[in-house]
Amino acid sequence: MNQDSPKSGLQLSERDELLRRIQELEERCRRAEDALRISEERNRLLGDSAPFGIFVIENEGRVFGANQKMLNMLDWPSDRDVTELNVLQYPPLVDSGVAESFQLCLEKRTRIVSDHTCLRTADGCEYLRYHICPVLETDGRLSGIITFVEDVTELKLAEETIKASEKKYRLLFESAPVAMIERDAGDLKRHLEQLRAEGISDLHGYFNQNPQEVARCMGLIKTIDCNTAFLDLMEAQTGDEFDGEFRPSNNAEDFMRMAREIILMVADGNFSDEREATFMTLKGTQKSILGKSLPLSGHEDTLTRIIIAMIDITKRKQAEEALRASEQRFREQALRDNLTGLFNRRYLYQSLTDLIENAKANGSVVSVIFMDLDHFKSVVDTYGHLNGSRTIKEVGTTIRETLEKPAYAVAYAGDEFVVVLPDFDQVQAAEQAKKIQARISSHVFLRDQGFEVRIRSSFGVATFPYHADDMTNLLATADHALFDAKGSGKDTVKSAKDIGS
């Protein structure tokens, strides 16, 4: 007979169920503990792997937790629990002034960034930067402080190096014998980037269509500093208020061109080319300079610091201009007759050949007049060779006064002259010859010498392509026409078509 009652069986079942639930609870607790342990281990690893020190502080200043890097920075003994540390009382922190920063954070409840010397000199550490941040609850209550500490030794050394470099740069900048000015084009660069963002890709065309924008853009460039050599270049007097801005030269177009070049240089970031510019000094002197621009290191992207070195090339430009003028004079002298100032035969042969080649290409005409003075030997015999030369000179002036460019006259030889008439047909050329003839016959020569000399002249006219096909034959045909005019009684005009008539 079974001694267990139904009631006893029920109690056993309830006990087993309770045991099962207890076991499940224990398993969940174990898993939670494992997860917490893993999380804590992971956090510890993250904290110890961080490149900076981390520690958490309670309101009274006691350290609640710290990573290994922070313990090393604090030089805290390894055999003591870090929770024994109070940052408001720890002598190294008090002596270095860090404790005051913690106290200020607790009182002001605001983030504090503070630099201090290292608490230990191991590993070459000299400076620490503390980022002290209050931890606030949702209701505003302060529950503690979390602090991040980084070794800024290299940063400090870099800052000191930069300061020393800047000081050396300033010394070199100020004492440089070359004119230098430092400018900030950051605002201009941002403005140009904005224009491009608005779809203006062709800045060159934009400024051509909106010239007023050039002045506006130049106004965005700020002058930071300039050296003594630059002030000397600008002829600034002691006590003058000078903003470092360039004054336009007398040629406004040249200045606008220079301004557009500067703006586009900033837009493209192209600082490789040297540029010539002309501007006015404070005394109104026009100066020419050769300039080279270069962004200072570290400012290549922002262009907030650009150094511009300038060499005064005013005297060089003046010398070059004088040399060009001299060369031009020499070239003209080589192609002109010394007595009359008219062109000589060297110029005639070069120029007339080119004119005929051009006429062949475009189907135009070129006429020449060959002329000489009638009975000129009697003038020389009567008044002398010197007055004969003076007469030739006056004849050259008379001929030149009858011509309009591109027509020109040539002192050919003695009392012989050639007149070249581009785009003149033979009728027009004959009319021009008669005009010269009338002017010579009406002129009184050697009046300045106290004489009254009258002269007559003869002319031969030939036209390309009707009478010749090249320069040599054209001159020969005109000379033949002149010979015919001389043989017909002189003081007349003969065209090539009249020969043999």
In a domain, 408, yes or no: yes
Asked if residue 354 and residue 492 are part of one domain, the reply reads yes
Lookup result for tokens 């309670």: 58
Can you give the three-state secondary structure of 238-262, one letter per residue?
A: CCCCCCCCCEECCCHHHHHHHHHHH
In a domain, 29, yes or no: no
Of the three residues 275, 290, 317, the one that is the final residue of a domain is 317
Cα separation, 86 vs 101, in Å, equals 14
Asked if residue 348 and residue 279 are part of one domain, the reply reads no
The pLDDT of residue 41 is above 60: no
pLDDT at residue number 172: 77
In a domain, 256, yes or no: yes
In degrees and rounded to multiples of 5, residue 94 shows phi and psi of -70, -45
Cα separation, 98 vs 92, in Å, equals 9
Asked if residue 146 and residue 202 are part of one domain, the reply reads no
Among residues of the chain, what percentage have pLDDT more than 70? 88
Asked if residue 121 and residue 221 are part of one domain, the reply reads no
In a domain, 89, yes or no: yes
Of the three residues 283, 317, 351, the one that is the final residue of a domain is 317
pLDDT confidence bin for 45, thresholds 50/70/90: very low
pLDDT average, residue stretch 185-198: 91
Which of 272, 258, 183 minimizes the C-alpha distance to 220? 183
pLDDT at residue number 250: 55
- The order of strands in the sheet holding 142-151 is 63-66, 53-57, 142-151, 127-136, 112-117
The pLDDT of residue 53 is above 70: yes
Lookup result for tokens 């208020």: 241
Asked if residue 218 and residue 152 are part of one domain, the reply reads no
Q: 159-187, pLDDT tens digit by residue? A: 787 777 778 777 777 888 888 888 899 99
The pLDDT of residue 313 is above 60: yes
Q: Are 242 and 236 in contact (CB under 8 A)?
A: yes
Q: Are 56 and 66 in contact (CB under 8 A)?
A: yes
pLDDT at residue number 10: 54
Q: CA 41 from chain center: how many Å?
A: 60
pLDDT at residue number 246: 58
Highest mean pLDDT among 133-142, 228-237, 247-256, 466-475: 466-475
Asked if residue 469 and residue 345 are part of one domain, the reply reads yes
The pLDDT of residue 7 is above 70: no
In a domain, 324, yes or no: no
In degrees and rounded to multiples of 5, residue 85 shows phi and psi of -80, 130
CATH of the domain at 337: 3.30.70.270
Among 15-29, 32-46, 101-115, 401-415, the range scoring the smallest mean pLDDT is 32-46
Q: Are 299 and 243 in contact (CB under 8 A)?
A: no
Cα separation, 356 vs 348, in Å, equals 12
In a domain, 4, yes or no: no
At 387, list the tokens.
Answer: 């007055």
Asked if residue 280 and residue 374 are part of one domain, the reply reads no
The domain of 266 spans: 177-317
CATH of the domain at 305: 3.30.450.20
Asked if residue 283 and residue 138 are part of one domain, the reply reads no
Beta bridge mates, 500: none
Amino acid at 206: Y
pLDDT confidence bin for 477, thresholds 50/70/90: very high
pLDDT average, residue stretch 420-430: 94
Q: Which residues contact 200 (CB under 8 A, 6 or more apart)?
A: 206
pLDDT average, residue stretch 121-134: 81
Cα separation, 312 vs 230, in Å, equals 10
The pLDDT of residue 44 is above 70: no
